């Protein structure tokens, strides 16, 4: 695949994961692919950050996990957004848009 490695802004990883999970439940590898897909390959999330984030979200109750068979019949751990996860997604989207607006204004003002 080999997209270029862009350092994620702190906090954006959560947003991306939540966004990735908002359509359907996914397993870890699936989340990684979905993020690559929705960012047109711009972000390649390392599993070293992805798994801890998924587990943290599970701790916080934003996602719940469930074991089931993957597309090619392997057992895999699927993560699903909970209602509080959806709420969190809304909050993060709003924050992000705010941030983008502020940053754009700041950049263009000069």
Q: How far is the CB of 79 from another protein (least distance, A)?
A: 10
Residues 38-97 that bind another protein (CB under 8 A): 46-49, 51-52, 55-56, 58-59, 61, 70, 72, 74-77
Q: Is 2 in the site for another protein (CB under 8 A)?
A: no
Question: Are 31 and 50 a contacting pair, CB within 8 Å?
Answer: yes
Closest residue by Cα to residue 77 from 44, 109, 29, 40: 29
Distance in angstroms (rounded) separating the CA atoms of residues 47 and 93:
23
From residue 20 to residue 49, what is the string marking binding to another protein with x (rule CB under 8 A)? Answer: -------xxx----------------xxxx
Non-local (6+) Cβ contacts of 15 within 8 A are 89, 92, 93, 96
> Which residues would be at the binding site for another protein (CB under 8 A)?
27-29, 46-49, 51-52, 55-56, 58-59, 61, 70, 72, 74-77
């Amino acid at each position: 695949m080999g997209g270029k490695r862009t350092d994620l802004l702190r906090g954006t990883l959560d947003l991306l994961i939540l966004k990735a999970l908002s359509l359907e439940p996914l397993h870890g590898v699936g989340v990684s692919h979905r993020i690559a897909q929705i960012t047109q390959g711009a972000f390649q999330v390392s599993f070293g950050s992805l798994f801890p984030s998924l587990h943290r979200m599970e701790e916080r109750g934003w996602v719940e996990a469930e074991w089931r068979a993957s597309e090619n019949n392997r057992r895999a751990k699927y993560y699903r957004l909970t209602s509080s996860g959806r709420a969190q997604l809304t909050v993060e989207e709003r924050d992000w848009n705010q941030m983008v607006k502020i940053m754009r204004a700041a950049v263009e003002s000069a």
